[in-house]
Structures are given as C-alpha cells and as structure tokens.
Structure 1
Amino acid sequence: MNGMVIIVEDEDPVRAALVRLLQSACYTVRDFASGKDFFNNPMPETPACLLLDMQMPDITGMEIIEKLASTDVNMPVIFITGYGSIPMSVQAMKSGAREFLTKPVSPEALLAAVDEALESDRANLQHRIEQCEFTARYNLLTPREQQVLKFIIGGLMIKQIAAELAVSEITIKVHKKHIMNKMRTKTITDLVRITERLHIAQARGI
C-alpha cells in the first residue's frame, strides 16, 4: 500500500478527478466536500497526507490547517487553489503546509508532491512509534536505576558512580545490568542515543 491521501475539495468535478488520479497511482483515497465533513471523521492511523483546497465556503483551508495544529495530528498538508498568490503561498508555508500548488495542477507535480509528503509522514510515524517505545522502556526503570542511568550516560565509571551513591561497585554493576536489559541496549552508545531522544539530563557527579 502506497499510503492514504485525504482530499478536502468542495468542487465535485475537481474532487472526482483527483480521486481517479490518485487511485490510478494505487493510493488509498478518502475524499470530503467540506472541512466539516473532514473533521467529523476519524483521523488516519497510517501514513497519510492531506490534499486541501485553500478556498472553501464552510471552513477555509487555512482554518483547517490551524485547527489541525491545535491537535496531536501531524499530517503533511498540500494546498491546492485556483487563486494562488505569493502572499497566500507564504502564509500557507508559515502555517505548516508542505506544498502549495495552483490549479490546474499537472498530474506529475501532484503525484511527486504526494510521494514526498507520504514519505515524510512515514518517517514521522516511525519516529513517534520509537519515541513511545523508548519512553515505555525508561518507565520500567526504578528511581534508583534512573539515577544510575544518568551517571552512566554522563560518562562516569562504575567505581565513580558507587562513590557518588555510597554503595558498592557490585550494586552498581547489578543496576547497570538491569538498565541495559530494560532499555534493550547492548552498548553504552545505544543507551546514550535513546536517552538523547528522551532528553534525559546527564549526571556527572561532584
């Protein structure tokens, strides 16, 4: 499956033509005639992009993207409009749109923009999945293990951490083993990479 494209376009002939083009390119397509219809339906849970008309009677394309920005939906947006202008395109990009296309849009330009948008969303989705997984692993650590972890990624040796926490080196080695197992890492480099993704502060001792 190539991905899902959601079309929000109030002009029936234009919307139908877009659906045919995208389906012929093997995309899954959902289409809506208004922003209201779009928001009354569930958001996709798979890689997707939004093909959005700028000018619509009920909710404008700009209002839709602003409303999306206030939620946790981070779907790439491609604007299409028959009334394009430089100020309008600048405003769209500042609002977070990935692409701004003026009607009539060539099939090649549209499909290229959709391909890039979906590839971006796939990467973003994978990043979010990994982030949730890393957070879940970190939450398995006890408070003491989290404390030891911060010293480990801060570059302290086992002996130094033991001195900082006034415990034996054997105790720290046990904590380290548990940390590596729970975080599913084999090297300190892997551990540092994950903690950087989680923005966990390092502890360097006195």
Structure 2
Amino acid sequence: MLLFTFGDIEGRLTVKSRSPVSYSTPIVFVVDDDISVRESLGSLVEVAGWEPRTFASAEEFLSHPRVSAPSCLVLDVNLPDLNGLDLQKRIAGDRVDMPIIFITGHNDVPMTVQAMKAGAVEFLTKPFSEDVLLSAIQNAIERSQAVFVREAGLQILRDCHASLSRREREVMALVVSGLLNKQVGFELGISEITVKAHRGKMMQKMKARSLPDLVNMNARLGLPSAPQH
C-alpha cells in the first residue's frame, strides 16, 4: 500500500540541512515489512536529498553497522517478530542521535502515548501526505545534527583537557571551585607566581576566555571542582 502519491516535489522541496557543521549526507533509515512502502519512502527520501536505507524487519535493521552521520529512523509499529515499540526500547539507550518517527495504519492513542513518552519525535497514521512526512524527517535530522554538534564540541573539550599536565589539571580544579591564586598555591604547596604560570598555560590549552567560560567547560566535562586525593 502506498502512503502517498508523488507530485512534482523536486521543484518545491526546501528540506535541506541548515546545520553549520559539515557531515556526510544525512541518512534516513526506513523499517517496514511492506515492500511497496519501503520503495515509496526510499524514493521520496532520495529525492529530498537524503540517503535512504531500507529494512524489512527490526532484526535486519539491528544487524546493520552503526553510522557516524546525522540520521533518523522511520519505523512501522506493526512489524513481525520484534515490533516497532520493542525496537525503540532496544535502541533507546545508545542511539540518542537517531530520532524515531513512527508510522502506523491504526490510530491507537495508547500506543501513540507510549511511543512519544519513550522519546519518539512523531507518530504518523497512514495515509499521510508527503509534506507532513518530509517535515517530520527534516525536524528529526536537525535534532540529530544538533547532537552531533554537541558531541563534536565535547570531544574538543576532552582533547584540550587531555593535553593538560597533572599540575595544570590540579590548578584548573581548584580555580573552578572558586579559590584565588594565593589559595590555590597554599593548597598545592607552590608559590602564587607559579600558580599564575600554570593557570595561564591551562587557560590557553583549554581555549578558555574567562573564568566563567572555564567553569562551564568543567561542568560540560563532568569533572569535579577540586582534585581527588
């Protein structure tokens, strides 16, 4: 069963990525046991400028290698063996960068509520228009891209922190806890001038422009605000 009829969509699609970060082409995974649905969705996704990858079952999808690109999952609720809701539970913990759009042929309110509470971004009842689906996919891809942006920024912070010497890390922990240079020196048994030297190098390596900036970085890294003894 086709979900929609194709119109002249090439000339009116405006669903391109607006993310400032460049990645490979976003991927739209489609899991549906109806081959006509998979082919229709795959064609629509491809015309929209994304990369479609289609699967006939949840098990087939789970066997597919993870990808490092913005993505979303268009998932049929009623699948053989492992259904859509069970698949959502299975991947909820480790695929936060892949929003789920559920599709179903039955308007089941409790099922919709369950899926949305578990984190689905949309729940569409067949038949739905291509514009509605494209809009849902675009929003999901943008959410996925936002996760990639956050993760990329966090990895940069991790790399910066890894470049610090042991003493610089100790100074950073005490500085973000609110201690002045003199107090840091007392805690570490070094002079205030030495603290200033370590602090300057630490701020430079962390690319921190101010103390509040450094405190925010420390929080994003999930680090304690004082060295562990």
Q: Which residue of 2 aligns with 1:56?
A: 79
Q: By how many angstroms is 1:72 displaced?
A: 5.0
Q: Distance in 2 between matches of 1:30 and 1:150?
A: 46
Task: Give the residue type in structure 2 aligned to 1:12.
Answer: I
Aligned residues: 203
Q: Distance in 1 between matches of 2:43 and 2:92?
A: 29
Q: Once the two structures are superposed, what CA deviation does each residue of 1:84-125 show, in whole Å capped at 9, x if it has no partner? A: 311000111122211111111211111111111000000011
Select the residue among 156, 162, 167 that pairs with 1:133: 156
Residue pairs, 1:59-78, within 5 angstroms: 59-72=82-95, 74-78=97-101
Q: Once the two structures are superposed, what CA deviation does each residue of 1:8-28 show, in whole Å capped at 9, x if it has no partner? A: 111011111111222221111
Task: Give the residue type in structure 1 aligned to 2:163.
Answer: L
The 3-state SS of whatever aligns with 2:199 is helix
Q: Which residue of 2 aligns with 1:99?
A: 122
Is residue 151 of structure 1 aligned with residue 174 of structure 2?
A: yes
Q: Which residue of 2 aligns with 1:118?
A: 141
Provide the TM-score with structure 2 as the length reference.
0.82
Q: By how many angstroms is 1:70 displaced?
A: 4.1
Q: Distance in 2 between matches of 1:66 and 1:112?
A: 24
Q: By how many angstroms is 1:43 displaced?
A: 1.9
Please provide the CA RMSD for this pair. Answer: 1.7
Q: By how many angstroms is 1:76 displaced?
A: 0.4
| 8 Å contact from structure 1 (residues 80, 103) kept in 2 | yes
Is residue 13 of structure 1 aligned with residue 40 of structure 2?
A: no
Task: Give the residue type in structure 1 aligned to 2:47.
Answer: S
The 3-state SS of whatever aligns with 1:6 is strand
Flag structure 1 segments of 5+ consecutive residues without an equivalent.
Answer: none
Q: Which residue of 2 aligns with 1:45?
A: 68
The 3-state SS of whatever aligns with 1:58 is coil
Select the residue among 103, 107, 112 that pairs with 1:89: 112
Q: Which residue of 1 aligns with 2:5?
A: none
* Higher share of residues assigned helix: 1
Q: By how many angstroms is 1:49 displaced?
A: 0.3
Q: By how many angstroms is 1:192 displaced?
A: 1.7
Q: By how many angstroms is 1:147 displaced?
A: 1.9
Q: Distance in 1 between matches of 2:149 and 2:135?
A: 21
| 8 Å contact from structure 1 (residues 68, 74) kept in 2 | no
Q: Percent identity?
A: 38
Q: Which residue of 2 aligns with 1:168?
A: 191
